[in-house]
Amino acid sequence: MREFRPYGSVRGALSNGRPYRDSSGMSLMALDGGTLIDTVVNGGASEVVNARGIAVGTFLSSGALAFISSAGTLSGGRMISGASLFVAGTVTGGLTMSGGRVTLAAGSNVGGGQVLAMEGTNNWLEVRANVSVNAIIGAFSVGDTIDLLGPGYVSGFFGSTLSYTQQTGYGVLTVKGGVFGLGTSQTLLIGSYHSENNFVMSDDGRGGTLLTYRL
């Protein structure tokens, strides 16, 4: 795999002014203090942001992969169906998912004042245990999925619970795991106006709780 490793700032524009597009099998890496700006990562290629590196305005095509390591930052981005994003660092400036898959790993930081938009269909957001998501999650489509690995799912009378409290312009969705030591909870901020009936809970098969959006 070919690699391009900037230590400084790279906007990556071609002579015709289009954003830098990495070819299949190429890896873009922002090392300590390096910056990648407005890159387009094509299928089969990857973008890696190491500690103290930053990627601004990344676009992930189908089949592309991006990895934001601990102390790395993704500042705004968009991904389409078939793209994958793994975050162990910080997300700022919001993120638009149009059918992609995002994993918020242990140690990730998604602060308030931004939106994780689930535009399009077949979006998948995975939130690992003990990760707080302070951004507003919105623009849901039927079938969009949030996989919470913190609260364990238990069905039945003493099982998991889901509650929704509407605030001005957003709602607070709280999932509590069931009995038998699985009673951890996860709170998410949901954009616009919804209710607990818009989210179906189920077992994710990995000890967590799956939320699937419905009308």
Higher local confidence (pLDDT), 75 or 34: 75
pLDDT for 101:
97
Q: Is the pLDDT at 174 greater than 90, yes or no?
A: yes
Rounded Cα–Cα distance for residues 79 and 85 (Å): 8
The pLDDT of 121-132, averaged and rounded, is: 95
pLDDT band at 9 (very low <50, low <70, confident <90, very high): very low
What integer pLDDT is reported at residue 180 of this predicted model?
62
Asked if pLDDT for residue 132 goes beyond 70, the answer is yes
Kindly write down the DSSP assignment for every residue of 143-163, as one continuous string.
T-EEEESSSPP--STTS-EEE
Mean pLDDT value of segment 10-18: 36
Which residues on neighbouring strands pair with residue 162, listed in sequence order? Answer: 175
| Residue 167: pLDDT band with limits 50, 70, 90 | very high
- In this prediction, residue 3 has a pLDDT band, given cuts at 50, 70 and 90, of very low
For tokens 């939320």, the residue is 211
Residue 20 in this model has a pLDDT that exceeds 60: no
Average pLDDT score, the chain: 87
Average of pLDDT values for 11-19? 36
* Domain that includes residue 57, residue range: 2-213
Kindly indicate the confidence band of residue 183, based on its pLDDT and cuts at 50, 70 and 90: low
* Over residues 125-137, mean pLDDT: 96
How do residues 51-69 score in pLDDT, each as one tens digit? Answer: 889 999 999 999 999 999 9
The rounded distance, in Å, linking the Cα atoms of 140 and 16 is 36
pTM for the structure as a whole:
0.88
Give the integer Cα–Cα distance in Å for 25 and 193. 42
The number of distinct structural domains making up the chain is: 1
